[in-house]
Amino acid sequence: MRIGDAKQSYEADEAIWTSSTQKLWLGFFLLILMVFPFAVDSYLLYLGCLVGIAVISTTGLNILTGFTGLISLGQAGFMGVGAYTVAWLSINTGLPFPITLVLAGLMAAAVGILVGLPSLRVKGLYLAIATLAASVFLHFIFAEWEPVTGGMGGLSLEPAHLFGLTFQSDFMMYFIIVPLAVLMVLAARNVFRTRIGRAFIAIRDRDISAEILGINLLRYKLMSFALSSFYAGVAGGLFAYFYRVVTPESFPLSMSIFYLAAVIVGGMGNLLGGILGAAFMTLVPEALKLLTAALTPFYPNAPVFMSPMLEIIFGGLIVGFLIFEPHGLAEIWHRIRRFFRLWPFRN
């Protein structure tokens, strides 16, 4: 009986406890992000910046694929549009990075709207193929439009700057990338509290029913494409400032697969899943490099053997999570939280 009373008390206080705990965890997480660049070496700082860029792009793709149900293999192309926009503006106008990043996002959003036009008539695999074709077409433009993109040689740009301050090192770039990633994730979270976000979810769950309820499918699908592409364009712009060189080979098809894998592994339709998936998928190649370095003294051909393993691992992770944990790392995290919150009441 005491156990039952305790459970009822727990359920009554759960909403308040969860809200306060979430705020506590959020504050703790933000504190870690603030301390992180001062406490780690240059390699971990480099990885932190990569994770921040990946979080932005994955969040954008999650809006389109996870929340709206539109599969896209064009994320790398949209990132390329943002990166080349930032590079061209930086070289030819010298605008500060906040303006170039916004313009990069808007340019990518405009391209995303064009790519999303077929989404009213096609869906599923056919839409994925359409976005893949768009990505290939954009890659062709990056390689061949030499007066603007520099061709295969690409473009080199100066470091990001604002009010005379130059963001040249990874340490400085961290304070652009990570705060921007946090803001864009919070912005995405707020989108799904609005009518627009609820329309995205209704289209994902049942587009015919959504249309009957008065939701304009083409309008909201194009809005989802635009918002997702905006995120990709900003991520691409940060990518350009971080590496300070942009080439067509910076945005291969494998990058689109990488971000789709991050959404699936993290958990589709879950913003926390996008964060976890982006971090996990960014660290997988680095873990593979460390494993290769550890095996090389014992097996000299380890680099040759391990070089094609990345694509195999990505494919295996996608298939594995779709079969065994379709809700991704976010669901595993929630399951762990529920276990530790309920453990006093377990027999």
pLDDT in tens, the chain (347 residues): 344 443 443 344 344 445 566 677 777 778 888 888 888 888 889 999 999 999 999 999 999 998 988 888 989 999 999 999 999 998 888 888 889 999 999 999 999 999 888 877 777 788 888 899 999 999 999 988 888 888 888 888 888 888 877 888 888 888 899 999 999 999 999 998 889 989 999 888 887 888 888 888 888 999 999 999 999 999 999 999 999 889 998 898 888 988 998 998 888 888 888 899 999 888 888 888 888 778 778 777 777 777 777 677 777 877 888 888 778 888 888 888 777 665 544 44
Position 25 in a domain: no
**Which CATH number do you get for residue 73?**
1.10.3470
Domain count, the chain: 1
Position 29 in a domain: no
Task: Provide DSSP, 81-147.
Answer: HHHHHHHHHHHHT---HHHHHHHHHHHHHHHHHHHHGGGGT--THHHHHHHHHHHHHHHHHHHH-HH
Q: Which of 114, 110, 153 is nearest to 131 (CA)?
A: 114
Tens digit of each residue's pLDDT (9 = 90 or more) over 156-198: 888 888 887 788 888 888 889 999 999 999 999 999 888 998 9
Position 104 in a domain: yes
Position 4 in a domain: no
Position 119 in a domain: yes
Position 26 in a domain: no
Q: Which residue range(s) make up the domain with 257? A: 38-341
Position 263 in a domain: yes
Position 245 in a domain: yes
This prediction has a pTM of: 0.86
